[in-house]
């Protein structure tokens, strides 16, 4: 902006000098001076425009850089959020799996305890039945022994008793 003001002032001064010189009687200098001042003014204006364009380009680059930086930051935040959610989901799945496995182990242990209890009851029942069977066999053996003892006495009558009859 300052460059434009300076260029305009310089142009105005040069234009004022050119008029004074032309009215003063220097007829050959007027066109050459005016032409040179116009060229200088054009160059100054072009330089000012170039500087303004460079400043504008620089501002645009800076703005673009800020936008890209914000985009990268947002992308990084989104990626971090996705990773965090994935980690939470994974931890939740692990916890659920662990809970299920613990429940399965507990149920298996309970089933094993029940099976052991049933086996123990069956063994006790079998032992009891075996003991009863052995007791019956012993009772029958005693009866047979008793019958054997009575049998020889009844046949021979040697023991002093008369056969019952």
Q: Name the average pLDDT for the chain.
A: 81
- ∠122-124-129 over CA atoms, to 5°? 95
pLDDT greater at residue 35 or residue 154: 35
pLDDT at 150: 79
Instruction: Tell me the percentage of the chain whose pLDDT exceeds 70.
Output: 71
Least confident segment among 26-30, 78-82, 156-160: 26-30
10 Cβ contact list (under 8 Å, min separation 6): 40, 41, 44
For 5, counting Cβ atoms within 10 Å of its Cβ (0-12 exposed, 13-18 middle, 19+ buried), the class is: exposed
pLDDT band at 34 (very low <50, low <70, confident <90, very high): confident
pLDDT tens sequence across 132-151: 999 999 999 888 888 888 76
What per-residue confidence (pLDDT) applies to 24? 43
pTM of the model: 0.41
Q: Using N-to-C axis directions, what is the helix angle for 29-156 and 2-23, rounded to 10°?
A: 170
Q: 70-121, pLDDT tens digit by residue?
A: 999 999 999 999 999 999 999 999 999 999 999 999 999 999 999 999 999 9
Residue 124 has pLDDT above 70, yes or no: yes
CB 40 within 8 A of CB 15: no
What sections of 24-160 are H helices per DSSP? 29-156
């Amino acid at each position: 902006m300052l460059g434009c003001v300076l260029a305009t002032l310089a142009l105005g001064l040069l234009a004022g000098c050119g008029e004074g010189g032309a009215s003063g009687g220097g007829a050959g200098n007027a066109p050459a001076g005016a032409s040179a001042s116009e060229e200088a003014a054009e160059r100054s204006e072009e330089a000012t425009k170039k500087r303004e364009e460079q400043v504008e380009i620089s501002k645009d680059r800076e703005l673009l850089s800020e936008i890209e930086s914000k985009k990268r930051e947002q992308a990084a935040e989104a990626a971090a959020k996705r990773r965090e959610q994935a980690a939470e989901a994974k931890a939740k799945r692990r916890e659920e799996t662990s809970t299920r496995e613990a429940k399965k182990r507990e149920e298996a242990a309970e089933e094993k305890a029940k099976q052991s209890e049933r086996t123990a009851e069956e063994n006790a029942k079998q032992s009891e039945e075996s003991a009863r069977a052995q007791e019956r066999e012993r009772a029958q053996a005693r009866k047979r022994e008793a019958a054997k003892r009575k049998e020889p006495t009844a046949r021979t009558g040697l023991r002093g008793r008369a056969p019952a009859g």
